[in-house]
Amino acid sequence: MLSIKNLHASIEGTPILRGINLEVKAGEVHAIMGPNGSGKSTLASVLAGREEYEITAGEVSFKGKDLLDLSPEDRAREGVFLAFQYPVEIPGVSSTNFLRTAVNQVREYRGEDPLDAVKFLTLMKEKMKLVEMDQKLLSRALNEGFSGGEKKRNEIFQMAMLAPTLSILDETDSGLDIDALRIVSNGVNQLKSKDNATIVVTHYQRLLDYIIPDFVHVLYNGQIVKSGTKELALELEEKGYDWIKDEVNSNATV
Amino acid sequence: MSTLIKQDILVELLGNTGIGFEEARAAGKEAFQAQGLPTNKSEEYKFTAITKKIEQSIQNFASAEAFEVTADQVKANVFESYEGDVLVFANGQFLPALSSTIEGVEVALLSEKANTPLGSVAKPEKDPFCALNQSSFDAGIFISVAKKAQIQKPILLLNFFKANAGQVIQPRVWIEAGDFAEVSFINHSVNLSDTPYFVNKVVEVKGGINTQIRYYKLQNEGKNAIEVSNIETDIQKDGRFTSVNISLSGEMVRNNLSINILGSNSEGNMYGLYLLNGKTHVDNHTNVDHTVAHAESNELYKGILADSSRGVFNGKIFVRQDAQKTNAFQQNNNILLSEDAVVNTKPQLEIWADDVKCSHGCTTGQLDEEALFYLQARGIAKDQAKGLLLYAFAGEVMAHIKDESFREYCIAQVQERLGSNF
């Protein structure tokens, strides 16, 4: 589904990603872990199409298409979803109007008829249950005045509404209390299927108790330096990231 | 075209002497001569070179005459599903045959109301154009709302302008409302000519005790208009005055809005939106004068500027020593969509009382890139996402329009502009 080859990206001339290689197949969950500043969020942003990053080398194909060639909106319409680390508050834009516009633009791109108001509301009510979303929140402006947990839940709710094939969760767990974490993870797990894939970007292993990854990758200095299964995450939790850094640095000096 | 120097313009402008109100006109002339036309050194006009603009565009200082307007033209320019009454004007001259008669509202030509105390609310010493209008206004209307009258539907003041090669149009409006009266006005102008013209309008609004007056103004009359407007109101005890001003076009527009709070427990509200493109220049100067205790004023002006347009906001709040317990809020926010767009914003608070709550703030920035990316990342096309964000920004001002049909009309106009021109 997603194939990243030798991806290099920089911001304002500073290289952040220095040759990422990653293959993600349908039905898989990949966790990307790593110390602060290793490039985890950059990778998520680059895949979603954030414009401030410059791609200096490499390629990314998504369902056979050159992902890097697509605008952010077309990536979303093709089925890429980024759950933001810091969801943006947008005063004056109602959550419901925003979602309806988004859902119908995605449907139009896929050659489907737009949802009328009734069908849209029915879908919304169904998906709200997934993340135990309070309807009152949706009558407010998008994310405005939402608590941290409400914002993250809203991200997963939007994910449910847009039914992506590739979901990238950028530190969705950070700042969540255990109840919110459970609700968010539960939502993600219910949306999982054999046809879609999830990339979970996180600093902590805790989330991976709830969203069980098939593969765990460690990102350091803009490269994936180690890959393994969920046991790798536990090892990282126990030992921290220093041993990985040491390993990489000693290899480099040899 | 001859190049005129300022002194000539002054003489030319004063050359139009309308009929009646000799005393008021003499006072206006004196105040105008004392102030002269503003130059780039005039503090109040330093960002708005209106005199230069008049010099460049106006070649014929004669007053533009009234002309025939058809019922179809009126019909075509009334908002869809609008159900209120309409008063029609051609170059400032009232056209009674095309206008409604409104129960509880007396409408007369100013010339029939010789005792109207012109200049008692909008004082000619405060602004040269206000003085000029008082000296040489060519047509005027007198509107009086009866005591306790509840005028449920708004009154549309529909102004048709048609001027030859840069003429001058100076309408004058006097509005008074009896105690406990409630009324809304919508000022809308339609330009029927392509040539530049200069409109210099003065509106005086005298409220009574507990009157509720709303005055909406939509400026959308075309690229050639040079317009100076002075709106000034006196609010008495328990009264409320709300102004909503939406500027969408014009060559150069200067709006002076002044609210004098003269009675306690009263409220003055000023809301404005300017959506500018091309070379349009819109300058909003507002002034609220708190003279008594226990009153409130709220102000929110927002601007979206594209191309090489220019916006000016200057908001004065004056809280006098006796005006304890005043609540005064002011906010001005701008979004610049191009590198050539400019906005000059200046809050001016002068507070002499010591027990007040006053706040002000202004921001000028670009469209929020992070919000834009967020919307795109959900599948919304960039242009549409921009429109959505800009509309969200602008919508806050339009929410203060109480009349639904007019609000819907303004929203449609704004959405069209945000969709096509920005």
- From the list B378, B388, B396, which residue is nearest A76 (CB)? B378
CATH of the domain at A106: 3.40.50.300
Domain end residue (candidates: B231, B246, B263): B263
Residues B197, B53 share a domain? yes
Give the dihedral of Cα atoms B16, B17, B21, B23; nearest 10 deg: 110
3-state helix, strand, coil in chain B (%, to 5): 25, 40, 35
Contact across the interface for A101 and B380, Cβ inside 8 Å: yes
Burial of A245 (0-12, 13-18, 19+ CB in 10 A): middle
Chain B residues whose CB is inside 8 A of the A87 CB are 374
Query: Which of the residues B331, B333, B368, B376 would you substitute to probe the A interface, choosing the one with the greatest number of A C-beta atoms within 10 Å?
Result: B376
Distance, in Å, from the CA atom of B121 to the CA atom of A80, rounded to the nearest integer, reads 62
Domain interval for residue A220: 2-253
Tell me if chain B has a CB within 8 Å of the CB of A11: no
Tell me if chain B has a CB within 8 Å of the CB of A60: no
Closest CA of chain A from B418, distance in Å: 15
Residues B378, B258 share a domain? no
Nearest to B412 by CA among B82, B59, B88: B82
Contact across the interface for B374 and A92, Cβ inside 8 Å: no
Contact across the interface for B378 and A91, Cβ inside 8 Å: no
Contact across the interface for B377 and A82, Cβ inside 8 Å: yes
Chain centroid offset of residue B156 CA: 15
* Domain-embedded: residue B314: no
* Domain-embedded: residue B78: yes
Q: What percent of chain B has pLDDT over 70?
A: 96
* Domain-embedded: residue B251: yes
Query: Which of the residues A73, A96, A100, A167 would you substitute to probe the B interface, choosing the one with the greatest number of B C-beta atoms within 10 Å?
Result: A73
Tell me if chain B has a CB within 8 Å of the CB of A101: yes
Q: List, for residues B232-284, the tens digit of each pLDDT value.
A: 999 999 999 999 999 998 889 999 999 999 999 999 999 999 999 999 999 99
Residues B177, B30 share a domain? yes
For residue A253, the model assigns a pLDDT of 60
Contact across the interface for B379 and A105, Cβ inside 8 Å: yes
For residue B165, the model assigns a pLDDT of 66
Confidence of residue B420 (pLDDT cuts 50, 70, 90): low
Domain end residue (candidates: B230, B263, B296): B263
> Whole-number mean pLDDT of chain B?
91
Nearest to B73 by CA among B154, B190, B157, B168: B190
Q: List, for residues A146-163, the tens digit of each pLDDT value.
A: 999 899 999 999 999 999
Chain B residues whose CB is inside 8 A of the A90 CB are 368, 371, 374-375, 389, 392
DSSP B292-347: SSS-EEEEEEEEEE-TT-EEEEEEEEEE-TT-TT-EEEEEEEEEE-STT-EEEEEE
Distance, in Å, from the CA atom of B44 to the CA atom of A242, rounded to the nearest integer, reads 65
Please state the domain count of chain A.
1
Question: Does B164 have pLDDT greater than 50?
Answer: yes
> Whole-number mean pLDDT of chain A?
92
- Sequence-distant (≥ 6) Cβ neighbours of residue B44 within 8 angstroms: B38, B127, B285, B314
**Residue pair A85/A107 in contact by the 8 Å Cβ criterion:** no
Please state the domain count of chain B.
2
Chain A residues whose CB is inside 8 A of the B395 CB are 92
Residues B256, B394 share a domain? no
For residue B35, the model assigns a pLDDT of 93
For residue B419, the model assigns a pLDDT of 75
**Residue pair B351/B321 in contact by the 8 Å Cβ criterion:** no
Q: Where are the alpha helices (DSSP H) in A18-140?
A: 40-48, 72-78, 95-109, 117-130, 135-138
Question: Does A237 have pLDDT greater than 90?
Answer: no
A positions 195-254 inside 8 Å of B (CB): none
Distance, in Å, from the CA atom of B58 to the CA atom of A105, rounded to the nearest integer, reads 50
Distance, in Å, from the CA atom of B326 to the CA atom of B264, rounded to the nearest integer, reads 9
Contact across the interface for B381 and A90, Cβ inside 8 Å: no
B312: left (phi over 0), alpha (psi -120 to 50) or beta: beta
Chain A residues whose CB is inside 8 A of the B374 CB are 84, 87-88, 90
* Domain-embedded: residue B125: yes
For residue B3, the model assigns a pLDDT of 45
Contact across the interface for B379 and A93, Cβ inside 8 Å: no
Instruction: Count CB-CB contacts under 10 A for residue A118.
Output: 8
Highest mean pLDDT among A222-226, A244-248, B74-78, B291-295: B291-295
For residue B6, the model assigns a pLDDT of 57
Q: List, for residues A130-148, the tens digit of each pLDDT value.
A: 888 888 888 889 999 999 9
Contact across the interface for A73 and B380, Cβ inside 8 Å: yes
Closest CA of chain A from B146, distance in Å: 39
Q: List, for residues B349-403, the tens digit of each pLDDT value.
A: 999 999 999 999 999 999 999 999 999 999 999 999 999 999 999 999 999 999 9
Q: Where are the alpha helices (DSSP H) in chain A?
A: 40-48, 72-78, 95-109, 117-130, 135-138, 148-162, 178-191, 230-239, 242-253
Tokens 């708190």 belong to residue: B290
Tell me if chain B has a CB within 8 Å of the CB of A102: yes
**Strand ranges inside B91-194, DSSP E:** 93-94, 105-109, 139-145, 155-161, 168-169, 171-177, 182-191
Domain interval for residue B401: 369-422
For residue A239, the model assigns a pLDDT of 87
For residue A130, the model assigns a pLDDT of 87
* Domain-embedded: residue B52: yes
Contact across the interface for A102 and B393, Cβ inside 8 Å: no
Closest CA of chain B from A71, distance in Å: 8
Domain end residue (candidates: B248, B263, B278): B263
Give the torsion sign (CA, B2, B6, B7, B11): positive
* Domain-embedded: residue B39: yes
- From the list A75, A90, A92, which residue is nearest B395 (CB)? A92
For residue B122, the model assigns a pLDDT of 97
For residue B4, the model assigns a pLDDT of 47
Contact across the interface for B371 and A90, Cβ inside 8 Å: yes
- Sequence-distant (≥ 6) Cβ neighbours of residue B43 within 8 angstroms: none
B207: which DSSP letter?
-
Q: What is the ipTM score, two decimals?
A: 0.95
Closest CA of chain B from A251, distance in Å: 39
